[in-house]
Structure 1
Amino acid sequence: MTRPRLDLKRIVAFNVTGLLLLLSWAWPHDMLWSDLDDRIFWFFNALITPEPNWWDDTLAILNHRAFDMISLAIMGLLFLWAMLRDPHPERLTRWIGIGVTMVLTAGVLALFTTKGISYGHPSPTRFFANAMRLTDVVSIPTKDSASNSFPGDHGLMLMVFAGFMLRFAARRIALLSVAFVVLLSAPRIMVGAHWFSDVYMGALSIALIALPWVLCTPLAAAAAGRIQRALARWMPQRLHSG
């Protein structure tokens, strides 16, 4: 396992960036995020038309529940690639430890966003009465709205994955993971299920403030190392008993 390290410079840099994002939301909101959110929403909403077309169907497919499984599969393939590229002789148990630590981190952040944040707002398709709803024009079951879209939980989970890849994976895999944060979170914004700020202010600020205390300190590496050592003790016993 990679030697645990404390990187205070990165923690401060990421935390300050996250706090600045929060401050930009608090003041002056109407001069920045509200205008940007409206412009992005109406740009994509204008592309949804009542007449059957490939764009509406594509958006519906990208926001279907089955596509969430495709997103999960993409992350799984990147995770597997990272493990196979790892020259460490015990890479299997090492990456199982990293994976379990990542899932636990994602679970804690998901719990915080659902239970610890009192603020919320509806998605733009529910906020604007005259918004075009994709579910009104396609027969494909899809998600185009949310009663509370803040923060972007889907985007936050993608950011957790990218953060762990940046910490533990090879550079190319880490950069691909960051790119997929943008690509896989975009459909929710394009269809109006999330505001742009739900992802790139709400989710991103949480990630920038919370993840450095896991990934830029000994916490993640130490937790993954403990899991790896436990697996190393358990697996030979299972092989011997089998």
Structure 2
Amino acid sequence: MNTQWKRLLGLNVTGLLLLLSWALPHGLPWTDLDDRIFWAFNQWITPENGLWDDLLALLNTRFFDAASFGVMGVLFAIAMRRDPRPDRLRRWFGIGVTMLLTAGVIAIVTNKAITYGHPSPTRFFEHAARLTDIVSIPTKDSASNSFPGDHGLMLMIFAGFMLRFADRRTAAWSVAFVLLLSAPRIMVGAHWFSDVYMGA
């Protein structure tokens, strides 16, 4: 078995183990981790932390979502420019179309085929601090069904394509931006940690 097949097998086994760990009774250890991460951030959402509240609100607006897609577009352009192949434009056009189709199909499947769901932490915990009760900025801090994390899912699809087709530096930046750009939803309680990093 060559290195490429070993890597593919290893990644699939890792994914299966993650899924099995989530399927354990009561979702342990994910439930405990979800609770700890949520309350670690939620305790800082108070009227006394006005600047922090405003920053979190801005990071969870539609404008920030659009900016996230803009970052992906810039990384895509950088990867295309760094590709030394003479037919790079045609190659990256094909990669882009395939990536968009993949994202569309996965979005449809997650919306139609996955029947499991649960409310976000801010709706699950009755006494959780809600950012929308503190700031005037239109922002997202809750969801009736937060599984899987759709925002994180799209970021991960992009990073997956970059890991496969882009140069190492651009691929590394893509993975870093998955962490940075998906974090705000978790920090305000619009998604559980596992919705993004296991569900997506």
Give the number of equivalent residue pairs: 198
Q: Does 2:149 match 1:159?
A: no
Aligned letter for 1:130? H
Structure 2 match to 1:177: 174
Q: Is the 8 A contact 1:102 1:161 kept in 2?
A: yes
Contact 2:21 2:27 (C-alpha < 8 Å) held by counterparts: no
The answer to whether the 8 A contact 2:42-2:129 is kept is yes
The one-letter amino acid paired with 2:174 is S
- 2:41 pairs with 1:44: yes
Distance in 2 of aligned mates of 1:135 and 1:97? 42
Matches within 5 A, 1:93-242: 93-203=90-200
Any conservation in 1 of the 2:132–2:139 contact (CA below 8 Å)? yes
2:8 is matched with which residue? Answer: 11
TM-score normalised by L of structure 2: 0.95
Name the counterpart of 2:70.
73
Offset at residue 7 of structure 1 (A): 4.1
Find the counterpart in structure 2 of residue 208 from structure 1: none
Where relative contact order (Cα < 8 A, 6+ residues apart) is larger, the structure is 1
Whichever of the two has the greater Rg, that structure is 1
- TM-score by structure 1 length? 0.79
Provide, for residues 105-141 of structure 1, a one-character-per-residue CA deviation record: whole Å limited to 9, x for no partner: 1111111111111100000000011000000000000
Question: Sequence identity of aligned pairs in percent?
Answer: 74
Q: Which ranges of structure 1 fall in alignment gaps of 5 or more residues?
A: 1-5, 204-242
